[in-house]
């Protein structure tokens, strides 16, 4: 059977990254960046491990993709990220000039859409890809944290 | 003569950082982070050198300060930055819970205030410190760039 490289395929890869974050006690968010149907960067949230509020999955993936490409702009790239990017990550994605973003779960509190659309006008945004799976991981994490306190 | 550790003193240190950026062909923006009248982090814009749109002075300074402190929050810290932070940096400063921010030059196009106040409600913001000196460096850079093209 031929693998279909569609948005669900790549979002599943981002979810794999989110699961790594979960296993390390991080808020389970993962991201991959794709160019020509190839994953050129994958990252998960590492805020706790790196002790750094800037170490969101999206930020690490942007840096990694630029490093791979040898150029700072991601004009022909697509990001798949399990949760709606925050203001910081939306700002970084703006500067990166990325072509497309697919995200899974919404973040009504700190997601960029709550602040109006902060993205580059050329960036196409699609939400709700494997939303249930993305949200389930986040819910699982926050419920386990609540039970700890 | 005793040095007065006031906002001009620390902004001058941020300007020193911006000058390093200028000498390296980067947009001349510098930042320092201060805790108890001591500079715990200094950084300048390194977008070109690192080939990374996330390498703004503020982002590098936040990571560096957290590294110094051994904790990710900058609750008792002040940032001095030569230009008004962009959306990405405002987002990072939000997550950092920094106490105070002083900035020099305004950025009417991409500064965070153009998008509404995106900062943490506990963060105090002061603008216009050594504004002329901060802006002069930026103007100098953009004029030299314009003449190149």
Rounded Cα gap, residues A100 and A110, in angstroms: 20
Instruction: Tell me the sheet residues that pair with A34.
Output: A39, A78
User: Which contiguous run of DSSP H or E holds residue B79?
Assistant: strand B78-83
- Phi-psi region for residue A131, left (φ > 0), alpha (ψ -120 to 50) or beta? alpha
Q: Which two tokens stand for residue A55?
A: 């170490």
Q: Hey, CA dihedral for A63, B96, B79, B5, is it positive or negative? A: negative
Given a cut of 80, whether residue A148 has pLDDT beyond it is no
Closest listed residue to residue A8, CA positions, set A125, A131, A107? A131
Give me the residues of B, 91-130, that contact A with CB < 8 A.
91-92, 94-96, 115-116, 118
Task: State the Cα angle at B58 between B94 and B140, rounded to 5°.
Answer: 135
Nearest to A52 among B48, B63, B116 (CB): B63
Rounded Cα gap, residues A112 and B27, in angstroms: 26
- Closest residue in B to A48 (Cα–Cα): B72
Cβ atoms < 10 Å from Cβ of A46: 19
Q: Which two tokens stand for residue A75?
A: 């004009």
For residue B115, what pLDDT is reported? 79
Cβ atoms < 10 Å from Cβ of A65: 28
For B53-96, the pLDDT digits (tens) are 999 999 999 999 999 999 999 999 999 999 999 999 999 999 99
- Show which residues of A are catalytic: 58
Partner-chain contact B53 A73, CB within 8 Å: yes
Partner-chain contact B88 A66, CB within 8 Å: no
Partner-chain contact B95 A62, CB within 8 Å: no
**Which one of the listed residues B58, B106, B133, B136 is annotated catalytic?**
B58
Rounded Cα gap, residues A115 and B87, in angstroms: 11
For residue B2, what pLDDT is reported? 79
For B12-49, the pLDDT digits (tens) are 999 999 999 999 999 999 999 999 999 999 999 999 99
- Closest residue in A to B52 (Cα–Cα): A72
The Cβ-side half-sphere exposure at A126, using a 13 Å CA radius, reads 12
CB of B130 closer than 8 Å to CB of B12: yes
Rounded Cα gap, residues B35 and B38, in angstroms: 5
Rounded Cα gap, residues B128 and A12, in angstroms: 47
Name chain A contacts of B89, Cβ cutoff 8 Å: 88, 91
For residue A117, what pLDDT is reported? 67
* Predicted model pTM: 0.95
The stretch A14-25 carries a mean pLDDT of 97
For residue B141, what pLDDT is reported? 94
Q: Which two tokens stand for residue B101?
A: 């921010």
Within 8 A by CB and 6+ apart from A94, the residues are A118, A119, A120, A123, B87, B88
For A89-117, the pLDDT digits (tens) are 999 999 999 999 999 999 999 999 987 76
Rounded Cα gap, residues A10 and A101, in angstroms: 11
- What does the mean pLDDT of chain B come to? 94
- Closest residue in A to B59 (Cα–Cα): A54
Give me the residues of A, 33-92, that contact B with CB < 8 A.
47-48, 51-54, 59, 62-63, 66-67, 70-73, 86-92
Q: Which residue has the higher pLDDT, A73 or A3?
A: A73
Nearest to B87 among A52, A73, A91 (CB): A91
Closest listed residue to residue B134, CA positions, set B31, B58, B63? B31
């Amino acid at each position: 059977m031929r693998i279909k490289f569609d948005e669900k395929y790549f979002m599943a890869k981002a979810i794999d990254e989110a699961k790594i974050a979960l296993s390390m006690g991080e808020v389970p968010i993962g991201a991959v960046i794709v160019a020509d149907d190839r994953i050129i960067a994958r990252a998960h949230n590492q805020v706790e491990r790196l002790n750094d509020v800037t170490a969101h999955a999206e930020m690490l993936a942007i840096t990694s993709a630029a490093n791979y490409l040898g150029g700072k702009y991601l004009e022909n790239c697509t990001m798949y990220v399990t949760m709606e990017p925050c203001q910081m990550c939306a700002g970084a994605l703006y500067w990166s000039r990325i072509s497309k973003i697919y995200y899974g779960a919404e973040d009504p509190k700190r997601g960029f859409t709550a602040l109006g659309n902060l993205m580059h006008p050329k960036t196409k945004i699609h939400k709700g890809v494997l939303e249930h799976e993305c949200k389930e991981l986040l819910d699982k994490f926050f419920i386990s944290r609540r039970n700890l306190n």
